[in-house]
Amino acid sequence: MRVFISSYKCFSLAIPIKYVSSVMLNTENYETKFFYNQENRSTYVSLPVLFKCPQEIVRHGIIIKNTGTQDGETENKYVLLGTEIENESDIPFDKIYPVPRTLGLLQFSLIFSGISFNKISGGLILLLNPEHLIQNIQKELL
């Protein structure tokens, strides 16, 4: 599975490329998990704040494909603001494991669709499920 990889203090985050519409540079840090921009009617999600890593510097915004809009439409998008995208990588499906049930106790664990381990860095890679993330955001904003 092709993914974009970003690193946080204790883990790396993998976002499947099939969900990504585009990537943008970002210079703003938000202090809240969610910010709704009324000008372009888009919702911005600060992943460092969501993951309780507010000291992390936001470098990129990842615009999630929205199946409910027309191609090229710039409004009503979800933009994931996160640390710098370090690379594009391929994680073999047989190296992605289900998220352990013990992590189910954590509030945001349902937004991950899998977990993998990187032998080279010895790090934990959490595979984000943008669809579940957006569903949770919509519930929280209502």
Which has the closest alpha carbon to 16: 135, 127, 142? 127
pLDDT at residue 116 in the model: 87
Give the pLDDT confidence of 30-72 residue by residue, as tens digits. Answer: 888 999 889 888 899 999 998 888 889 999 999 999 755 455 5
Q: Beta strands of 20-122 (E only): which ranges?
A: 20-25, 34-37, 42-46, 60-64, 78-82, 85-90, 112-118
Q: What's the token pair of residue 6?
A: 């970003």
Strand partners, 118: 123
| pLDDT recorded at residue 139 | 80
In the prediction, which pLDDT does 80 show? 95
- Inter-residue contact 64 to 43 (CB < 8 Å): no
Contact 127, 91 (CB under 8 A): yes
Q: Considering only CA atoms, which of 29, 22, 66, 55 is closest in space to residue 44?
A: 29
Integer CA distances (angstroms), 6 to 9, 34, 69, in order: 10, 19, 27
Q: Name the DSSP class of 105.
A: G
pLDDT at residue 84, rounded to an integer: 93
At 117 the pLDDT is 86
Taking 80 as the threshold, does the pLDDT of residue 104 lie above it?
no
The answer for residues whose C-beta is within 8 angstroms of residue 93's C-beta and 6 or more apart is 1
Q: Whole-prediction pTM value?
A: 0.84
